[in-house]
Structure 1
Amino acid sequence: MNFAFKTGKYNGSTITILGRNPVLSKVREMPIVGGSGLFRFARGYVEARTKLLNLKNGDAIVEYSCYVLHY
């Protein structure tokens, strides 16, 4: 998964996340494996928390907390 920044200081930069994201787990931790722009060579991790899940239509609201080290 990529997070793309569209405005501000990080405009045009991305953070790349890789790993399992089982939506039914309360908290999921996934590594940040890189990025682009100002996040080139980024490392860190993401914690994902499902705030709302509709099993009928598959919609979900997920909060992502990103902890990033970059140069």
Structure 2
Amino acid sequence: MPFAEDEVRIDLMCGVGDDGHWHGTLGVNVEAGALGRLGLHPDQPTSVVAGPSPPAWWHAAGERYATRRQVVRRHAP
């Protein structure tokens, strides 16, 4: 991954919903400086890349992970 361990924070927020079932949500926070190294910053237009792209292996690993993962719903929406 292009981020150091201390640059990413993952929070789990859980609670009982209106239907009485437990529900969880993940919040992922990345420090602004870490995003800046990838060319992402508040002054950047979304159509222009201002920094180097992550290496090819990083993209390939993300695609492999995405195709392996399946969304499993345990409760009806």
The interval holding the TM-score normalised by the smaller chain is under 0.3
Structure with the largest fraction of strand: 1
**Structure of larger gyration radius:** 2
Task: Tell me the TM-score normalized by structure 2.
Answer: 0.24
Task: Tell me the TM-score normalized by structure 1.
Answer: 0.26
